[in-house]
Chains A and B, each alone.
Chain A
Amino acid sequence: QVRLVQAGGEVRKPGASVKLSCRTSGYTFTDYYIHWLRQAPGQGLEWVGWMNPHSEGYNYNEKFRGRVTVTRDKSISTAYLEVSGLRSDDTAVFFCARGQSGNSYWYFDYWGQGALVTVSS
């Protein structure tokens, strides 16, 4: 079955960076985009960006452009999100989710379990 598995949460100080992983299985990694979303405590969902594991193409929410980078390792079917210049208001659960190849904007049919990033001095 399709699975997206994220590594556990991280704690960082303001100004630091964090790199999150999303290991996929149960489907062909390069056939679907991977999206990243953020959910601050008690808040709603916010789209961060996507990557195309086949071409390494990507697109980011304007709000995060310049602070986030998406990458992948095809050999282990894993996508990554790096967030730099962390601020306290970046404290949130980050989710990876599967979208549709060829469509920048799509719904998300499978999700990782989420990884809590805590930014605190």
Chain B
Amino acid sequence: DIVLTQSPGTLSSSPGERATLSCRASQSVSSSQLAWYQQKPGQAPRLLIYGASSRAIGIPDRFSGSGSGTDFTLTINRLEPEDFAVYYCQQYGSSHTFGQGTKLEI
């Protein structure tokens, strides 16, 4: 199975700043089949990005994804108070695996 490692485990930022979250795969993710999700306490995950860089329906353009192969990045520009949550990456090129999550805290 492909192992996804997210870093950092916790990221402290302030509203208005930019946050950069990393997801590294143990082997190449085929066809950039990587997604990002946001999860708030007591809620289901919410799809943000699929295909490494395509925004899901209704996702603000301050969220962007990039990368290919084994290294992927989620960038959140101009952080809003509602952006502070846990973020997971998921690869779906070979079965499904998730990273362990990055907690974005104020």
Contact = CB atoms under 8 A, between A and B. Distances in A.
Size category of the binding interface on chain A: 10 to 19
Contacts of A107: 33, 35, 47, 50, 90, 92
Instruction: Say whether chain B's binding surface is mostly helix, strand, loop, or mixed.
Output: loop
B100 interface: yes
A106 interface: yes
Interface in B69-106: 88, 90, 92-101
Interface of A: 35, 44-47, 61, 95, 97, 105-109, 111-114
Contacts, number: 50
Contacts of B44: 95, 97, 111-114
B47 A45 contact: no
B45 A111 contact: yes
B19 interface: no
A109 B95 contact: no
Interface string B7-48: 000000000000000000000000001010100000111110
Given A109-B47, A114-B44, A44 B101 contact: yes
Interface range on chain B: under 10, 10 to 19, 20 to 34, or 35 or more? 20 to 34
10 contacts: A44-B100, A45-B45, A45-B88, A47-B95, A105-B92, A105-B93, A107-B47, A107-B50, A107-B92, A112-B44
